[in-house]
A and B are shown apart, each in its own frame.
Chain A
Amino acid sequence: MDLNTYGYVAAGIVFGLGALGAGIGNGLIFSKTVEGISRQPELRGTLTATAFIGVGLVEAMPIISLVLAFMWAK
């Protein structure tokens, strides 16, 4: 394998692991949010805002990893 192939493999691993972490994190956050809203609908504003903060942070890293992977693999 030459260096370009290693680059493609590295980009795939970077984005794959980033997406895996984001998927697990998003699933946990949204499951707890939906559970909380179902139990106490009056807390909907607080829970959605907290979920928004959490998901925004969880997703920032995989999106950046995706961008870097695309750029490095070209």
Chain B
Amino acid sequence: MMYDLPALIRRTTRITFFFLSLGCIGLAIWPDYKPYFGGFMIGTIGSLLGSFHLAWKTTRIADLAVTGRKSRSGFGYLSRAAIGVLAAVVSVQVLHFNLAATAAGILASPLVTLLLGLFTIRRLKDGQSNDERGEK
């Protein structure tokens, strides 16, 4: 079965790296727009780190649900919010990039995850294969 979390994370990482490479290319071609491309890249890196953290937390909560152990761990929202704020502060205060571009970058990884999830659900409904090896 391919509709699982590690596969989703791998694909999200791949597509987010694609966005990062687009930002690098834009930075190289249009140096005048450095605040926008740079802010977008910093935000994208922050959102990717947040996605990794969220995947770790989700796996941990699923483990706890399966084993039936009781734990007082939270969902890690504060940590992810701190990652976002850190990305924004580094981008705007330290590197003097654009704030709106940074916010757009922070939104990149969740949007990629949403689109991948919707495509995967549609493919599974159609009964098509969902990975390169023909497995479902």
Interface string of B118-131 (1 = CB under 8 A from A): 00100000000000
Count A/B pairs, Cβ under 8 Å.
Answer: 107
Query: How far is B87's CA from A23's CA once the two chains are assembled, in angstroms?
Result: 22
Q: How far is the CA of A41 from the CA of B88 in the complex (A)?
A: 39
**Contact A59/B106 with A46-B3, A49-B117 known, Cβ cut-off 8 Å:** no
Query: Which residues does chain A contribute within 8 Å of B4, judged by CB atoms?
Result: 45-46, 48-49
* Proximity string of chain A (32-74) to chain B, C-beta cutoff 8 Å, 1 when within and 0 when not: 0110011001001111111111011101101110111011000
Q: What secondary structure prevails in chain B residues at the interface with A?
A: helix
Between A30, A55, A70, the greatest number of chain B beta carbons within 10 A of the residue's beta carbon is seen for A55
B27 within 8 A of A: no
CB pair A66 B84 closer than 8 Å = yes
Judge whether B61 and A33 touch: CB under 8 Å: yes
Contact B5 A34 (CB under 8 A): no
Contact B88 A37, beta carbon cutoff 8 Å:
no
Residue interface bits B14-57, CB-to-A below 8 A is 1, else 0? 00000000000000000000000000000000010011001100
Q: Do the beta carbons of B77 and A66 come within 8 Å of each other? A: no
Contact A70 B80 (CB under 8 A): no
Chain A, Cβ-Cβ closest to B107: A60
Given contacts A48-B58, A57-B114, A60-B107, 4 further A-B contacts (CB under 8 A): A33-B58, A52-B58, A53-B113, A70-B85
Chain B residues close to A by CB (< 8 Å): 1, 3-5, 8-9, 47, 50-51, 54-55, 58-59, 61-62, 64-66, 68, 75, 77, 80-81, 84-85, 87-89, 92, 99, 102-103, 106-107, 109-111, 113-114, 117, 120
- Chain A interfacial positions (CB closer than 8 Å to B): 19, 22-23, 26, 30, 33-34, 37-38, 41, 44-53, 55-57, 59-60, 62-64, 66-68, 70-71
